[in-house]
Structure 1
Amino acid sequence: MKTRIFILIALGMLPAAVGFAADISRVDFVSKAFRDGDFIPHVCSEQDVVRRYGDGDRTVDAAGLIQRRYLDPTTRLEVLITSNPDVASKYRTVDEIRVSSISMGQPAAGRTESLRKLKLKGVAIGDPASRAASAARRYGQIHTEQEALGTFNVERICGFSGSGSSICFYIKDAEVVAMALGFGP
C-alpha cells in the first residue's frame, strides 16, 4: 500500500517537474538579466542558457574562460556569454553577458530572443557616452580603460557594486556600442 501511494505521489509530481524544465527553456535570459540590471540574487546557470539558446559558437579565450556567441537575428546584435571552466559544468554559472553592435568575427550560429528594446540601467546601444557614464557612477565605484572590441579600440566604462557585480558600457565615437553585466572585472 505504501509503495502504491509513493508511486501515485511521484506520478503526480512528474508533470510539475516537466513543466519546470519547460519553463526554464523558455526564459529569455539575456533580456531578463539586462532588465534586472544585475545577476544578484539570480545567477544564470550555463546549462539553462545552453538549453534555451543552444551551444552557440563556443570558444575559449586567452584567459581560459568559455565564451559562447549568439546573434539576435532581428537587431543583428551579438551576444557573448562567458563562464568559468574551473567549475564543473553541472554547477557552472554565467559570469558575464555582453551585447554588442560590433561583431567579434563571423556571424554567430546560435540565436537569442529579440533584443530590440534592450537597456541596461536605462542605457541602450546607440545612446551617448554621457548617459552610460552616469549609469555606471550611480551603480557603484567606476573604472575606465581602453580596450579592443573586435577590430576597434573602445573606451570601457564600468560601475562595480559592493556585492561584486558590475555593469560596463563600451564607447566608440562618443556612443554606446556594447554593454555588459557580470561579476568582477
Structure 2
Amino acid sequence: MPPSPFDRDRRNRRTMAAMFVVGLAMLALGFASVPLYRIFCEQTGFGGTTQRAAADVQVREATGHSMSIRFDSNVQPGMPWQFHPEQPTQTVTVGARSMAIFIAKNMSDKPVSGTASFNVTPTQAGAYFTKIQCFCFTQQTLQPGQEVRMPVLYYVDPKIIDDPDNKDTQQITLSYTFYPVEQDGKAS
C-alpha cells in the first residue's frame, strides 16, 4: 500500500527539523572552533604554542642538562617600532627559571599600542617551554620615542628530556611578532 500524503508530510517535516538542528549545530561549532583550537594548542603545545605557569610554580632542575634558547623578534610591516632581544641566545639549565629581556622603541611621534603573538620551534618543544611572566600576555602601549625593556620569565620543563620526539632538540627558538592594536576601527 503506498504511503499516504499525510505520512509523507510528516516525514518531510521530521527531516526538515533534523536538518535545521544539524545546521544549528554546525553554526555553533563554527563559533566554538577558534576558542576550542586555542585551548587545544595551549594544552598540547601544538603548533609551537608555549605553556603558561603561575609565579609560584616549583620545578625540579635537571642538573647537567642544558639547552640553547634563541630569541627572534619581528614587527608587522608598517608598525613604527624597533623590537629586539637584549641577548639573541641564552644557554639555560633545563628546569631552571630564566629571564630574557626584549627592547621595544616607538619610533613615531604618536602613542602606538601593540600586542605580540608568539611561537616556539621546533613545534614539538612548545609543550615543554613554559612562560611564567611575559609582555605577550597583555597589550603594550609606547609613547612617542619611548623605549622599554620587557621581560620574559620562563623555564624548559625537565620532561622534555624523556620525550622521544625531542631527543635531538638542542636549541629552542622563541619567536615574537608585534602587531598594532586596532583602536576605534583603525590601527594605533
Q: Given the two structures, how large is their TM-score scaled by the length of structure 2?
A: 0.30
> Which structure's residues are more often strand, by fraction?
2
Rg (Cα) greater in structure: 2
Q: Given the two structures, how large is their TM-score scaled by the length of structure 1?
A: 0.31
